A and B are shown apart, each in its own frame.
Chain A
């Protein structure tokens, strides 16, 4: 099984090296590609030094566009599994084998903070938002999801193809689940530990969270309403 880990990174020079080193330590057989989304710091150099393949976008295209670049790369190089992980160290590499182990029962495996008791703690507002999206997605897909905003995921070829064709642009996590369900993919969650981010600040402010909630809700509803496949990005 050819496995690729996709790490989208935007100005993550301080944490990226450690993230790559951890992956190499716990799962030495996987390939790692860092999608450097127009960083203005030394992310590219740090990632290369740590031994990852680096794709550098000429300017910042946002998380969705960057992530999709990773999936396009996975498709181009015919990987069997593509795992997406954050560059800030939130997703511990020692949990990676758990995701990979569940690949034979689903097309997309999501590492969830809430399936089992995990030590992850977050602010109240954030919890409320997460519960809201879990309920929304569970209602629309008629399946139970506990952590729809988790960006720790493993995808097989079917999903790689779907994501290469279409991937939501900003705040993609929630919509990308509904999109897969619309395309007949099996999605499961497995419980994983997550850490506090190792460096950098969360980009969430009150206005942005309001925008986030509204935008994602709209996108998810629209995605659920689309009867057929979503129009490709091109």
Chain B
């Protein structure tokens, strides 16, 4: 078995797992798109060896499968960046919710005192 067939297999299993997670609503469609795109890309590259080798030749990479790692790594960086964007947004939202709840609690207490 070559690295190409192994990675073809991996990419198929990977895609199935992603789709299953979306079906079970464990993963939001919104976030799954990135993963699906990655899975499809991985599949195309692994399946179409000639494509990868042509790429490698253009880029003057001696060992074609190294390109797979490069793509994988770049994707990981992109995904992590995406995650930190999501975290930033979420923490802003959590903060605002915390503040609103605090203000509401304060108002409630004031009403109780006035009653």
Chain A residues within 8 Å of B, Cβ to Cβ: 35, 53-59, 61, 65, 68-69, 72-73, 76, 169, 233-234
Contact = CB atoms under 8 A, between A and B. Distances in A.
B43 to A, nearest CB: 38
Given A73-B106, A234-B93, A68 B98 contact: no
Contact of B99 (A53, A54, A72, A169): A72
A45 to B, nearest CB: 14
B95 to A, nearest CB: 5
A58 B102 contact: yes
B97 to A, nearest CB: 9
CB-CB nearest 6 A-B residue pairs: A55-B106, A69-B99, A234-B96, A65-B95, A57-B102, A55-B102
A35 B105 CA distance: 12
A25 B95 CA distance: 34
Interface of B: 92-93, 95-96, 98-103, 105-106, 110
B41 to A, nearest CB: 32
A170 B29 CA distance: 34
A55 B93 CA distance: 19
Given A55-B102, A58-B102, A65-B99, 10 more contacts: A56-B102, A56-B105, A57-B98, A57-B102, A69-B103, A72-B100, A76-B103, A169-B95, A233-B92, A233-B96
B113 to A, nearest CB: 10
A54 B93 CA distance: 23
A167 to B, nearest CB: 10
B98 A55 contact: no
15 contacts: A35-B102, A53-B106, A56-B105, A57-B99, A57-B102, A58-B102, A59-B98, A61-B98, A65-B99, A69-B103, A72-B103, A73-B106, A76-B103, A233-B95, A234-B96
B99 A68 contact: yes
Contacts of B95: 61, 65, 169, 233
Nearest to A64: B95
Contacts of A35: 102
Contacts of A55: 102-103, 105-106
Contacts of B106: 53-55, 73
Contacts of A169: 95
Given A58-B98, A59-B98, A234 B103 contact: no
Contacts of B102: 35, 55-58, 69
Interface centre among A54, A68, A233, by most chain B C-beta atoms within 10 angstroms, is A233
Contacts of B99: 57, 61, 65, 68-69, 72
Nearest to B94: A61
B103 A73 contact: yes
A169 B91 CA distance: 11
A111 B57 CA distance: 66
A127 B103 CA distance: 37
Contacts of B110: 53
A68 B105 CA distance: 16
A234 B94 CA distance: 9
B82 to A, nearest CB: 18
